Structure 1
């Protein structure tokens, strides 16, 4: 929903960064008018009525460099460079840079009122006050909190920041004398990574480590969640246990549903992860990105899962804008002209046009492929869409018993329609046989703390009618192979007084179990498949919405 309704309110084109007071002044004025006066729009077609809606700007997503410009404060490499707390930072002579060592008690959090007061004082005196250089243009936005309204974007801070930095540190030849050095085990890591089968939601199939410097943020995000089985037995146990605390905490904070217990557990794990960074890796690794991890639980508490407020969708849209110009002259005009054309088409095209035209418009607007062979089946609480042409499946005795356990009656049908791909709530699933042909798998599911792989989607009528269009009940069932948990991944090191690590809830080693049947439902979570050295690991995705 958010990706399909993004608004481009301003565009900057130039060699230097814009002056924020000038660039954002029209935006602030327009937003204040929309939050006070609102705007009228028409709801309904048969009985249209006017509705007054108001717009409230509440969240600003930006990377660290842009965030300090928007808050009008020093950068993260200056004293008091954190926009969320008053951690002063310490200068490290060895690395010749500012570091943020973990301290107890924690530095006091910044407040909206306190930050505005400090910014006014800095504006009047011309001196920096707690890192603030003056009044921010965004402080004039009605209903916007100049501190809590900003979020520590996990795309930059975690994926491109912490995860990338740690892995490059592990393979950096200058660290060859360190216990965590993995430079001599790169081929083993490459072999393991090549055995990963991600789902459709993961945009890129894992690339080899020889091109790791070209990895995108989405690839580092994927690596974060599948890294533990890959690093198991390679990274020393103490360092693996330490890394597991970051992995598990980020899984909680990126989940679809986050309980208070999960949020508290994430805070605990992040705190413990931060405590041990300096003893394990040295003060040089106490960077701003490491420090900003401590503010992510509060961000989730205020605004929801990290994927809701990340930069991924905006960075993706930047790539979309790059395709809207063809010449180096008048680039902004080309972008706006082509964007207005696409928006006009989006507003005015009617789905009653011919299938060929609709297919073309879908491809242009949404980059979607419209499948011709699609059938729709309405189930009690959701709709299931089957893709492709069905095949006739002979119901063996074992299959009939599995189906009989679910529908509660003896199976008299001898064949059923079998589909290899289907969609539930805009999420694609496929059978194991279909996925085996590709580098991706959409056949592994997790629900009710159980894991299984999809063998068939079966649609049949349990009858012996000879009429073609009889009114007998049609059953839609999944045939699954249960994947029994051999063990959940546990990365714990040390004794009671100095134990680090945690049990990892979303990664388990599995083996094949019985074949059974169940009704499809919209609570399935998808999972990645990792098979190496005779072991099979299933890695459940934190959510089904983030791509």
Structure 2
């Protein structure tokens, strides 16, 4: 299913293999025997619960902590999101309950799925019904922790929910993101913008912060629509509902900026000219060959902006936008500096090693970004998402890098679920069969890999005097945790201009060869002689891992893979390049 091999092809293969292996079934129907699952009618739809999600969770915890003993605490991350199954039919929509473990690299586990079967029932059912089985299982994990020999896994008292704004409002029973009192972190009261047709949030400086205790007591009645079952369950209804940066910043603020520049309001001065749009499109095309392999999507032209995915907006927000918009033919200096405040602040909050003083600076930059946005783009620009970014530092203080508590891994799993459908006949039954088998065979993604080098070659550069026992390799998959302290399975390649730039200590270098000698692994590099700031306002770019480099040295240096190495995203400029440290890991 993961490789989209047709079932008919698998059946034909089984028929050919049966003479050699008589015990094999002759059809995929018998190979993947459909499990006996119970489907419950629930408010105009069906719900199915998977009892094997707890054993799958135990296997993943054992995989990561089998070398420890005693008590190990873990925190569950819960994601709930709507999944439209068919592009031109609104009749079916799935609402899976997905869980993951905080700070573990793993594929999400599906707990249960609700399927709406009528267009008038495309919303989540009531919380007490929808979450009944899941909350029962979580309570059982709290009362009877998972054990394996001398190892005990203790779940945290309150799980963390990572959802988009509509699902958060449904789970918390609060006003939706279009309401006047919809902000989840402060008591700001919005005002209706008749021209824009939505509520904007200005003058939030005088608003007080919401707390878990005030939420449980419903002190601010205008914020609530009812009582959530999660309050009785002990969930921290304010601090443990993450403001997901994928929806809020990538699909929210970044998309809003690009949409306004493209011309959501033809008469607004923020609209770019036709020549500026052409320059922006050309810049996007120019960097396509420089995008590293870690990015599964490349940005498309502005004419296809409505089809951009969250990964493309993240690429623009964290890496490419700072370089592309440097060209004054595209946007003015004031708007570029304003955009940089948002980019710099997000790089602070997504980088897991940001010091406390930089976190505070990021918080200040986000407040300035919102205040200046009202001046540059008008008060109608301050939507729910734009205002809410000022509260993101609160999540960083509790959970660290926002990339550790984002929806990106869950969205990838939803895409897999959608691809396993073969027809419109009983879609819930098709998806549930796949999920059941996945839970049975769910294995955590390996964080530590023994393999270091691939694709050996003898045509590379080797520094003289290194030794006679020299093996050279073209490509090196470097694991962030074990081999070279790089981010999540980054790949260095001497054959690709997009994957051969690193930051080592205070220098930016190009990897020209990857070698091993006497069981020691090292890189042969050339350093850039000139390393400058790309910008100095609102902060020096070097402090956020953005370097303007030029004049590659002809001297070769050798560095060990035991040293701290960070892979960089290399982008072309008219004079030289810009190296941007890669900070995201999902």
TM-score range, shorter chain: 0.7 to 0.9
Which residue number in structure 2 is paired with residue 356 of structure 1?
Answer: none
The alignment status of 1:458 with 2:458, answered yes or no, reads no
Which residue number in structure 1 is paired with residue 205 of structure 2?
Answer: 104
Q: CA 1:28/1:509 → structure 2, altered by over 3 Å: closer, same or farther?
A: same
Which residue number in structure 2 is paired with residue 507 of structure 1?
Answer: 546
Q: CA 1:285/1:411 → structure 2, altered by over 3 Å: closer, same or farther?
A: closer
Q: CA 1:450/1:244 → structure 2, altered by over 3 Å: closer, same or farther?
A: same
Which residue number in structure 2 is paired with residue 296 of structure 1?
Answer: 392
The alignment status of 1:421 with 2:475, answered yes or no, reads yes
1 CA distance for matches of 2:467 and 2:506?
33
1 CA distance for matches of 2:561 and 2:540?
30
Which residue number in structure 2 is paired with residue 86 of structure 1?
Answer: 187
Which residue number in structure 2 is paired with residue 276 of structure 1?
Answer: 372
1:516-546 CA distances to partner (integer Å, 9 max, x unpaired)? 1111136322211211434311121124x22
* SS at 1:109 equivalent: coil
Of 114, 135, 144, which aligns to 1:28?
135
TM normalised by structure 2 equals 0.73
The alignment status of 1:38 with 2:144, answered yes or no, reads yes
The alignment status of 1:148 with 2:239, answered yes or no, reads yes
| 8 Å CA contact 1:254, 1:542 repeated in 2 | yes
1 CA distance for matches of 2:359 and 2:461?
48
Which residue number in structure 1 is paired with residue 315 of structure 2?
Answer: 222
1:319-373 CA distances to partner (integer Å, 9 max, x unpaired)? 11113332322222222222222333447xxxxxxxxxxxxxxxxx98x9xxxxx
| 8 Å CA contact 2:347, 2:583 repeated in 1 | yes
Of 502, 516, 526, which aligns to 2:567?
526
Which residue number in structure 1 is paired with residue 558 of structure 2?
Answer: 517
Q: CA 1:346/1:76 → structure 2, altered by over 3 Å: closer, same or farther?
A: closer
The alignment status of 1:6 with 2:6, answered yes or no, reads no
Which residue number in structure 1 is paired with residue 456 of structure 2?
Answer: 389
Which residue number in structure 2 is paired with residue 69 of structure 1?
Answer: 170
Q: CA 1:388/1:145 → structure 2, altered by over 3 Å: closer, same or farther?
A: same
1 CA distance for matches of 2:240 and 2:572?
43
Q: CA 1:412/1:13 → structure 2, altered by over 3 Å: closer, same or farther?
A: closer
1 CA distance for matches of 2:504 and 2:144?
43
Which residue number in structure 2 is paired with residue 444 of structure 1?
Answer: 501
CA shift for structure 1 position 416: 3.5
| 8 Å CA contact 1:73, 1:133 repeated in 2 | yes
Of 178, 196, 210, which aligns to 1:95?
196
The alignment covers a number of residue pairs equal to 461
| 8 Å CA contact 1:249, 1:267 repeated in 2 | yes
CA shift for structure 1 position 423: 2.1
| 8 Å CA contact 1:72, 1:133 repeated in 2 | yes
1 CA distance for matches of 2:362 and 2:322?
17
Which residue number in structure 1 is paired with residue 4 of structure 2?
Answer: none
TM normalised by structure 1 equals 0.78
1:201-231 CA distances to partner (integer Å, 9 max, x unpaired)? 2111232333222110010000012101101
Moved beyond 6 Å, runs of 4+: none
CA shift for structure 1 position 25: 2.3
| 8 Å CA contact 2:124, 2:170 repeated in 1 | no
Q: CA 1:252/1:52 → structure 2, altered by over 3 Å: closer, same or farther?
A: closer
Q: CA 1:447/1:486 → structure 2, altered by over 3 Å: closer, same or farther?
A: closer
Q: CA 1:98/1:173 → structure 2, altered by over 3 Å: closer, same or farther?
A: closer
| 8 Å CA contact 1:31, 1:141 repeated in 2 | no
- Report the aligned-residue RMSD: 2.6
CA shift for structure 1 position 195: 2.4
The alignment status of 1:541 with 2:582, answered yes or no, reads yes
1:282-341 CA distances to partner (integer Å, 9 max, x unpaired)? 111011111101110001101121111111111111111113332322222222222222
* SS at 1:88 equivalent: coil
Alignment of 1:333-372 (within 5 A): 333-346=429-442
2 CA distance for matches of 1:340 and 1:103?
47
2 CA distance for matches of 1:161 and 1:223?
13
1 CA distance for matches of 2:524 and 2:372?
46
Which residue number in structure 1 is paired with residue 280 of structure 2?
Answer: 189
2 CA distance for matches of 1:173 and 1:5?
38
Higher mean displacement: 166-175 or 265-274: 166-175
1 CA distance for matches of 2:108 and 2:231?
24
CA shift for structure 1 position 384: 5.9
1:108-149 CA distances to partner (integer Å, 9 max, x unpaired)? 111112111117xxxxxxxx813111111211223x211111
Unaligned runs of 5+ in 2: 1-102, 481-488
Which residue number in structure 1 is paired with residue 94 of structure 2?
Answer: none
CA shift for structure 1 position 483: 1.9
Unaligned runs of 5+ in 1: 44-48, 120-127, 348-364, 369-380, 401-409, 461-472, 493-500
CA shift for structure 1 position 6: 2.0
2 CA distance for matches of 1:177 and 1:330?
48
| 8 Å CA contact 2:456, 2:471 repeated in 1 | no
Q: CA 1:117/1:536 → structure 2, altered by over 3 Å: closer, same or farther?
A: same
The alignment status of 1:138 with 2:220, answered yes or no, reads no
Q: CA 1:28/1:55 → structure 2, altered by over 3 Å: closer, same or farther?
A: same
1 CA distance for matches of 2:500 and 2:253?
31
The alignment status of 1:239 with 2:335, answered yes or no, reads yes
Q: CA 1:521/1:52 → structure 2, altered by over 3 Å: closer, same or farther?
A: closer
Which residue number in structure 1 is paired with residue 124 of structure 2?
Answer: 18
